[in-house]
Amino acid sequence: MTSTSSASDTADARPLRTAFVGKGGAGKSAIVGTFARLLARADDEPVLVLDSDPMPGLAFTLGLEIDDAGIDDAAVVERAEGEEGPRFRLRPGLSAEDAVEAYATVAPDGVRFLQIGNLRGGVGSIMRSQHAFHQIKSELPRNRWHVIGDLPGGTRQPFLGWAGFADSVVVVIEASAKGLLSGRRFAKLAGSVVEPDRLFAVVSKARSSDDAQQVESRTGLRVIESIPWDDAFADAEREGLAPLDAVPDAPAIQQIQSLVHALQGVLT
């Protein structure tokens, strides 16, 4: 959507619930951070971006100084004996939207940012945080929030908490030998998470027009957007700057903008 975008364009649109997965180093965080901000600019509904990668990165791309925005342990209570349900849940009276309001960091363009993967106070703490996360995702009003996930790089638990929640999955793939092999694995794993028509590949760091074709033929995924290798974008990332602020006209950013349109077009 261009600057003429307004609520009327998207009044009937269903907010996105999109999980971005891919090999470590493929460019997930760089794409997700930029994507979330461009989505927030294009659409009136609020955007929550969930970082479940334990490694830092997304916050910098968003343009935040911090790399940690977790849910306070005090926001989560343990199930009382004899009670049903998950072991931990949000404190009674604290709704999912309240929790986002209280604990998410507000990034530029109004994007809300929450970090889940970091170990803060040991394993007990991460369990609390995981449960709270899961509850926030499932209880945020469906017709209001875009929820965008930056998922961990490995294939150990690539969709933890997202199966049954994500309405679309984007596999970020660089068309290198390792990237393509990894892409095949993610494609296979994602097949049990979303319907085939909700599963897409984004080519990252594309160096030739052949890259997209390679990705399609080797992974069987449909390429929804191809993002070129872009020195200016990469330099901003390397410096820890938000590419969207540092190099707003970079070619990679234009393609991520197209990705926002493409996903909105396909999914709504």
Binding-site ranges for another protein (CB under 8 A): 23-26, 55, 126-127, 130, 153-164, 177-178, 181-182, 185, 188-190, 192-193
Rounded CA separation 175/211 (Å) = 6
Give the nearer residue to another protein in terms of CB position, either 154 or 248.
154
Angle 210-228-108 from CA coordinates, rounded to 5°: 150
Give the nearer residue to another protein in terms of CB position, either 3 or 156.
156
Query: Least distance (Å) from another protein to the CB of residue 41?
Result: 28
Give the nearer residue to another protein in terms of CB position, either 20 or 162.
162
* CA-to-CA separations, 176 to 153, 156, 182, 207, 214, in angstroms, rounded: 16, 21, 10, 10, 9
Query: Least distance (Å) from another protein to the CB of residue 163?
Result: 4
Rounded CA separation 117/130 (Å) = 8
Q: Write down the residue that tokens 């890259």 correspond to.
A: 211
Paired strand residues for 173: 203
Query: Least distance (Å) from another protein to the CB of residue 80?
Result: 22
Query: Least distance (Å) from another protein to the CB of residue 249?
Result: 25
Give the nearer residue to another protein in terms of CB position, either 7 or 66.
66
Query: Least distance (Å) from another protein to the CB of residue 1?
Result: 31
Rounded CA separation 156/3 (Å) = 40
Give the nearer residue to another protein in terms of CB position, either 163 or 232.
163
Rounded CA separation 177/262 (Å) = 27
